[in-house]
Amino acid sequence: MQFHPKLGVMSRRLWRPKTLRVILYRHVDEMNSRARNSVQEGCPCKMLESASESTYLATCPHGEMALGNLRYPVRICWRIPDVPGAVLFHARYSSDFIPHSHEAATILIVTEGVVDIGVEHRKYRAQQGQMVIVGAGQIHSAHLVGSNGWKMRTLHLPTSQMRNILGGELSQLHFSKPVQTASPIVSTFLDLHCCTERLNASCGDLRGFIKDLYREIDIFGPKSSSESETDQRIVRAKNIILELFAENMEMNDIAAELGFSQFSFIRRFAKAFGLSPCAWRMQVRANEAAKLLRERKPAAEAAILSGFSDQPHMARTFKKVFGITPGQYCTMHMNKPRSDASCLAYHS
């Protein structure tokens, strides 16, 4: 006879697999109960529908996240009110970003440390206080310098917002000098970033920042992003992949349909767009997953809809593209400002 303190019964068969499973399930239920009791009073969600952190973060409609507050005490990214497509990030990074692009322009300031920024086929070193601008659809990456990582404030600015203020001209640009010490607009950017991070509606002017950026844009080497000079068969291949990104279509099938050998297709695609067809499809899937998470889709559903084999596969790729996990990305749904949101010097 053995006495089991959790079950409160005497058992001769405690060692049997079935009995052990019962004990394990009850232990998991107890842990979930503790998590439910940890939900802050401000959140009406008193029950977790799933033990999955990412699922809960993506579905709780009440701002303060139960598991989010436990694991992520500060918000890593957030959105600008009335501009839901604009996403801002404030974090420290210690691993590389793979080559990728976004449907939005990427604007950032390095606030601590040093990072190598790859844009198209060139590499640029960005240091503390420098601003980096990458156009929508422009391939870029980030690479660790040293062992301490770097810290930066980033804005993903949708081209639709730029068109609303400036017309289509600026929204379609790529940049040949993406890293600059752009002091006239750094203060405007930091003001916007910090005010929105603190949920302070009395300061931070997105429209004003975009106009200031436009006045200083020439120092970043703006250039057209037109695909008119690219082989139109390759452009068509890109459109096919974009339309069918969630399907595991074989690249040699696309190559054959367009009259290329597989080797020639991969080489021409990489020359035109900076990535192999498979790599380009993978970062498209990561961007689609981000879009679904912004819409509060559960992480598991976002993974399937965006073409990943499962949620862990999405999480690995997502972090290589955005620098943070899907769970951290979902902290944008929290409505609590960061207590350490400060813009003193460049050490914020």
Does residue 221 sit in the same domain as residue 273?
no
Q: Bigger pLDDT: 141 or 338?
A: 141
pLDDT, position 337: 58
Does residue 42 sit in the same domain as residue 85?
no
- Percent helix, strand, coil in the chain, to 5, is 45, 20, 35
The residue among 38, 71, 104 that closes a domain is 71
Q: What is the pLDDT of residues 144-197, one digit of tens each?
A: 998 899 999 999 998 887 777 776 555 578 999 999 997 778 989 999 999 888
Q: What is the DSSP letter of 271?
A: H
**Angle at CA of residue 211, ends 206 and 213, nearest 5°:** 95
Q: Bigger pLDDT: 1 or 276?
A: 276
Model confidence at 35: pLDDT above 70: no
Collapsing DSSP to helix, strand or coil, 37 comes out as: helix
Establish if 263 belongs to a structural domain.
yes
Model confidence at 331: pLDDT above 70: yes
Does residue 179 sit in the same domain as residue 303?
no
Does residue 81 sit in the same domain as residue 209?
yes
Does residue 127 sit in the same domain as residue 197?
yes
pLDDT, position 334: 73
Does residue 308 sit in the same domain as residue 286?
yes
Establish if 346 belongs to a structural domain.
no
Does residue 214 sit in the same domain as residue 244?
no
Q: What is the CATH number of the domain that holds 302?
A: 1.10.10.60
Q: Which has the closest alpha carbon to 268: 236, 231, 301?
A: 231
In whole angstroms, give the CA distance from residue 248 to residue 304.
Answer: 12
Point out the least confidently predicted range of 68-72, 167-171, 310-314, 316-320.
Answer: 68-72
Does residue 301 sit in the same domain as residue 163?
no
The residue among 194, 226, 258 that closes a domain is 226
User: Do residues 159 and 172 make contact, with C-beta atoms less than 8 angstroms apart?
Assistant: yes
The residue among 187, 210, 226 that closes a domain is 226
Establish if 19 belongs to a structural domain.
yes
Compute the average pLDDT of residues 295-303.
93
pLDDT interval class at 65 (50, 70, 90): very low
User: Do residues 241 and 233 make contact, with C-beta atoms less than 8 angstroms apart?
Assistant: no
Q: What is the CATH number of the domain that holds 152?
A: 2.60.120.10
- Strand pairing category for 222-224 and 173-175: antiparallel
Establish if 46 belongs to a structural domain.
yes
Does residue 124 sit in the same domain as residue 168?
yes
Number of domains, the chain: 3
Collapsing DSSP to helix, strand or coil, 201 comes out as: coil
Establish if 160 belongs to a structural domain.
yes
Does residue 66 sit in the same domain as residue 93?
no
Q: What is the pLDDT of residues 231-259, one digit of tens each?
A: 899 999 999 999 999 998 899 999 999 99
End-to-end Cα, the chain, rounded Å: 61
Does residue 109 sit in the same domain as residue 186?
yes
| 3-state SS track over 218-256 | HHHCEEECCCCCCCHHHHHHHHHHHHCCCCCCCHHHHHH
Q: Which has the closest alpha carbon to 222: 166, 175, 168, 179?
A: 175
**Angle at CA of residue 225, ends 219 and 229, nearest 5°:** 130
199: domain range? 77-226
Model confidence at 4: pLDDT above 90: no
Does residue 133 sit in the same domain as residue 89?
yes
pLDDT, position 167: 65
Strand partners of residue 93: 150
Please give the helix or strand (H or E) that residue 264 lies within, else none.
helix 262-273
| CB neighbour class for 253 (10 Å; exposed up to 12, middle 13-18, buried from 19) | exposed
Compute the average pLDDT of residues 313-335.
90
pLDDT, position 1: 47
Establish if 342 belongs to a structural domain.
no
Number of neighbouring beta carbons within 10 Å of residue 94: 11
Establish if 337 belongs to a structural domain.
no
Establish if 164 belongs to a structural domain.
yes
